[in-house]
Structure 1
Amino acid sequence: MSWKITVSAPAQVVRAALVAHEDADDWDFSIVLGGGQTDPAEPDAWQLEAWLERKPTAADKAAITALFAGAKPKLIIEELADEDWVTLSQQNVEPITEGPFHVRTPDHPPAHGLRDFVIPASQAFGTGHHETTSGCLAMLAHMKAKGLVVRNLADIGTGTGLLAFAALHLWPRARATASDIDAVCGPVVAENAELNGIPLGDGPGKLAMVIAPGMEDPLLRAAAPYDLLIANILAGPLAELSRDFGKAVAPGGSVLLAGLLTAQEPTVRAAYTRAGFSLRARMQRGNWTILWLRRRSTR
């Protein structure tokens, strides 16, 4: 990324802008958007950040301003050095522990007695430190503790592969398929799988990786139906994929959904109710919700 636009505003305002971004059908996805708390001591102080590979145009600035519902936010525009800012932002982060999992970057030592995952900083999302990813790890452990049996699983929007790795640890004889829309994730997942002792391939205890949007890959469709489908993406795509996920998950099977702000939960849950799912458990991490839904046996 070579340019960044920053808007500082109260938490409620930034969350509303993120929701507006999700609902914007004509959004230019070359503008990568994010947002969150800037200082733990000031929970209401948030920033919305937009990254572009070009100098922001008047149309770019207008699109970001339009997310703020008629207000005129102050846009701070800065040119960035030619560096991998995604990787830099993930360096020197502290390890996390969630249930049986310990997730760290290579510059930290392993933790004894836990399943240790080494996830280097990379261009793919999912080092475990975002509340949605750590919440998914916690929910996976909860699902296992509740007796969920998984023989066939998929991780849609896998990023670094971490959630697929965690699921294979909990259900080591399961067949696993991971996918992502971003081609950079293919080699990232392969490298992380080798680093963490996850065998690649097709079969029990192995992970197959594909690059595809949603369920649009022959391997993903052929491997269905799934006992467990994981999707830590965004609220808009989650709602759009509800029908496809309903077709891909076996009756009585589960979906683990994350990437949605709590304000977006009603919309996502309504879509999955229509697709034949019911709520089994929910968890809230900060302003994010993690959902465990099960597909009803009869629809």
Structure 2
Amino acid sequence: MPTPSDPCWIVAVTIARRVAIDPAEPLSRDDFLPLLWELLDGTGLAGIHEGSLDALEAFAAGITTSDMVLDAAAGDPDRDWVAACDTITAELWFVDQRGARAAAAILAGLTGCTVVGVRHEEPHDWEAESRAGHGPIDIPGFGTIVPPWETPYQRPADAGTTLVIDPGSGFGTGLHPTTKLCLAALGAGRSPPQRVLDFGAGSGILAIAAALRGAPVVDAVEIDPLVHAAIGHNAVLNGVADRVRVSPTLDELPADSPHDLILANIVAPVLRAHVDDLCRRLAPGGRIVLCGLLAADVPEVTALYSRQLATEPIMTALDGWHCLVFARA
């Protein structure tokens, strides 16, 4: 959640789906929010936070059918839990009390917008608070994930692989059960793979882990261009930038260079849609690791990939999430 880094005054408001600046022409909330900058011109408005919902809150509000959600750029592009709420709580940030009070008086006269309160916000060291929430993460069967500020990280020589990931740089910090399942599956490999595909790479955590485990060629495919630089940054932190290549789609990869390990930690609809592409790119004797699956997803995904690969998977699970590992003959 964005937060002010300097002292400021905050006006908290609830906003309905329709707001009337002009009683004769009520506006939708989406149209009203951008107009706040014009409506409150001269008050010192410095920022607007339109509210947020986590998965548990969205489930409790009846917006989603499950509180278990895997974030992915290839997920539903129309997912907007805040927009689905009948009423949202927004915060408007101001540089001084006079401006905040003036803005509150303006907003109080609008139908569909209710001023909840005005408060003073002291500055926080947000970076320090964020760092405090990200320490070393032990992954049984793989090793340890650490943030950059924890390096050099001292651990026993036989304790597995140390992987450095900068939190907040795309999905995959090591905290989510699906990431842990994939890393455990990677660690269970008998020998380092030669060519690895990380499909839906996010932060690049799985691609980088494969490179650290000895893979000389790793393709990280991530549809969201905003995290490509983060993948490169994380690869540099781990000293494997020369082995991790980032691409936006599978189409960018050579069709005649199959991979002997494919890691796909992504939502079930994407796994179903790309079954042909992924199976075609798996080399003979290779393994494919599919994760991001809830129990209800497992039967269909298993059937699709078993048909293509002529084999049954080994399944593992953690905290309600499931991982399927297929080995091609």
Q: Do the structures match in fold with TM over 0.5? A: yes
SS of equivalent to 1:154: strand
CA distance in structure 2 between the partners assigned to 1:21 and 1:104 by the alignment: 22
SS of equivalent to 1:31: coil
Using the size of structure 2 for normalisation, the TM-score is 0.63
Where does residue 137 of structure 2 map in the other structure? 96
How far did 1:102 drift? 0.8
Contact in 2 for aligned 1:221/1:248 (Cα 8 Å) = no
CA distance in structure 2 between the partners assigned to 1:81 and 1:89 by the alignment: 23
Counterpart selection for 2:165 from 109, 113, 119:
119
How far did 1:252 drift? 2.5
Where does residue 300 of structure 2 map in the other structure? 267
Q: More deviation in 124-133 or 106-115?
A: 106-115
Counterpart selection for 1:197 from 231, 239, 256:
239
How far did 1:223 drift? 5.9
**Which residue type is aligned with residue 7 of structure 1?**
A
**Which residue type is aligned with residue 52 of structure 2?**
K
Decide whether aligned partners of structure 1 residues 173 and 104 sit closer, same or farther in structure 2, where only a CA change above 3 A counts: closer
Counterpart selection for 1:161 from 183, 204, 225:
204
How far did 1:89 drift? 7.6
Q: More deviation in 89-98 or 263-272?
A: 89-98
Contact in 1 for aligned 2:212/2:240 (Cα 8 Å) = no
Counterpart selection for 2:246 from 209, 219, 227:
209
**Which residue type is aligned with residue 211 of structure 1?**
P
Where does residue 175 of structure 1 map in the other structure? 217
Contact in 1 for aligned 2:165/2:205 (Cα 8 Å) = yes
Contact in 2 for aligned 1:260/1:289 (Cα 8 Å) = yes
What's the Cα RMSD here? Answer: 3.3
CA distance in structure 2 between the partners assigned to 1:277 and 1:186 by the alignment: 35
Gaps of 5+ in 2: 2-49, 94-125
Gaps of 5+ in 1: 33-49, 62-74, 201-205
Counterpart selection for 1:242 from 253, 266, 275:
275
CA distance in structure 2 between the partners assigned to 1:80 and 1:290 by the alignment: 40
Where does residue 18 of structure 2 map in the other structure? none
Counterpart selection for 1:134 from 172, 180, 193:
180
> Number of matched residues?
236
Decide whether aligned partners of structure 1 residues 31 and 101 sit closer, same or farther in structure 2, where only a CA change above 3 A counts: same
How far did 1:273 drift? 1.6
CA distance in structure 2 between the partners assigned to 1:90 and 1:275 by the alignment: 44
1:47-86 alignment, distance < 5 Å? 50=81, 56=83, 60-61=84-85, 77-79=88-90
**Which residue type is aligned with residue 216 of structure 2?**
A
How far did 1:16 drift? 4.2
